[in-house]
Amino acid sequence: MTLKLLSKKPLNRISINEITAQAKVNRSTFYRYFVDKEALVEFYENQIIARLEAHRYKMISDFQKSHSFFADENVRNIIQIFADDKEQLQILLNPQSKSGFDDRLAAKMIELVRNSLMEINPNLSLQEANLLSSYHANGIVGIIKLWINNPQYNNEQVIAFTQAVTSKGILGLF
Residue 19 lies in a domain: no
Residue 6 lies in a domain: no
Choice between 68 and 4, residue whose per-residue pLDDT is larger: 4
**Residue 84, pLDDT above cutoff 90:** yes
Would the CA dihedral through 106, 6, 154, 76 be positive or negative? positive
Residue 93 lies in a domain: yes
Q: pLDDT category, 68, cuts 50, 70, 90? A: low
**Residue 5, pLDDT above cutoff 80:** yes
Residue 88 lies in a domain: yes
Average confidence (pLDDT) over 157-171: 88
The residue among 11, 2, 13 whose CA lies nearest residue 38 is 11
Average confidence (pLDDT) over 132-155: 92
The residue among 77, 90, 110, 118 whose CA lies nearest residue 6 is 90
Average confidence (pLDDT) over 44-69: 83
CATH number of the domain enclosing 127: 1.10.357
Q: pLDDT category, 83, cuts 50, 70, 90? A: very high
Residue 138 lies in a domain: yes
**pTM for the full predicted model:** 0.83
pLDDT of residue 7: 81
The residue among 10, 14, 8, 4 whose CA lies nearest residue 37 is 14
**Residue 98, pLDDT above cutoff 80:** no
Q: What residues make up the domain containing 139?
A: 41-173
Give the total number of structural domains in the chain.
1
Residue 10 lies in a domain: no
